[in-house]
Amino acid sequence: MSTTADRLREEVRRRYAESALAVTARSSSGCGSDSCCDGESDAATFGETLYDAEQRGELPDAAVLASLGCGNPTAVADLHEGETVLDLGSGGGIDVILSAKRVGPTGTAYGLDMTDEMLALAQQNATAAGAANAHFLKGIIEQIPLPASSVDVVISNCVINLSTDKAAVLTEIARVLKPGGRVGVSDIVAEDQLSHDDRAARGSYVGCIAGALSRSEYVAGLEAAGFEEVSVEFTHEVADGMHGAIVKARKTEQSDAVGPLPVIQPAARAGCC
């Protein structure tokens, strides 16, 4: 019997699959069928416009069309030549390809996604972009299929907010990062005064934000998972009290203990971003 978490994950998977197929079919909407938070967000909030023209010029058209994120994590991750980068929820591959170019041929960029259609589109886009150091893995962000202490940087673009077990995600990020490794993600984050019910209500019309953590929950969760230098910076409002945000943190040199993350109830309706 499927759980609420299973049903929500399947809805997210289905929406990503529909978007990938729409892009593959050369959808002219720039968003894909039934995606971009059901078409109820504006272009300045989600998607390709969050990347500058120079970055879009480095990418195949299909990678740009498949962008459903709420930010641009490669712009804040401070990537360096030779590093290993992991993108959680890599979708059509836009952030993996950009990361692969930043870390160069001596570095590696991994993308993790649970959707076969998106993985196929991402591989196609990486090949078209000539990103030989971009590699895509199938899996879920709560169980990352990489060894411990194997990654220098973890990025993500509007995906962690969709997880129904964020404590597991943050713990897994800490596990795969090397000591001193860093996080630079874009995500949807709530203002602290919004209750779980408030966030769910806003998710009834912008589905991808319903399960978002508050700023203080994000900070507490990362610190409990073994991170320091944690910051959560709001960048743009996507609904009343809900923001696109840049989340940064650094794994401590010793981060064995993992404390509890405040519980976020699964949203009644999953999103697409």
Q: What is the pLDDT of residue 203?
A: 72
* Stretch among 140-149, 198-207, 262-271 having the lowest mean pLDDT: 262-271
Query: For the whole model, what pTM was predicted?
Result: 0.78
Question: Does position 128 have pLDDT exceeding 60, yes or no?
Answer: yes
Question: Does position 165 have pLDDT exceeding 60, yes or no?
Answer: yes
Residue 127 sits at φ, ψ, to 5 deg, of: -65, -45
The closest alpha carbon to 148, from 50, 15, 251, belongs to 251
Residue partners of 254: CB distance under 8 A and separation at least 6? 179, 226
Average pLDDT over residues 236-253: 92
How confident is residue 37, by pLDDT bands cut at 50, 70 and 90? very low
Question: Does position 13 have pLDDT exceeding 70, yes or no?
Answer: no
Greater pLDDT, 201 or 184: 184
Alpha helices in the chain (DSSP H): 4-24, 53-57, 61-65, 94-103, 116-129, 166-176, 196-203, 215-224
* Domains within the chain, CATH numbers bracketed: 4-251 (3.40.50.150)
Sign (positive/negative) of CA torsion 188, 217, 185, 161? negative
Rounded Cα–Cα distance for residues 108 and 153 (Å): 11
Q: What is the pLDDT of residue 70?
A: 62
pLDDT in tens, 51-102: 444 454 554 444 444 445 566 778 778 899 999 999 999 988 889 999 999 9
The 3-state DSSP class for residue 140 equals strand
Count H helices, E strands: the chain?
8, 8
Average pLDDT over residues 105-131: 93
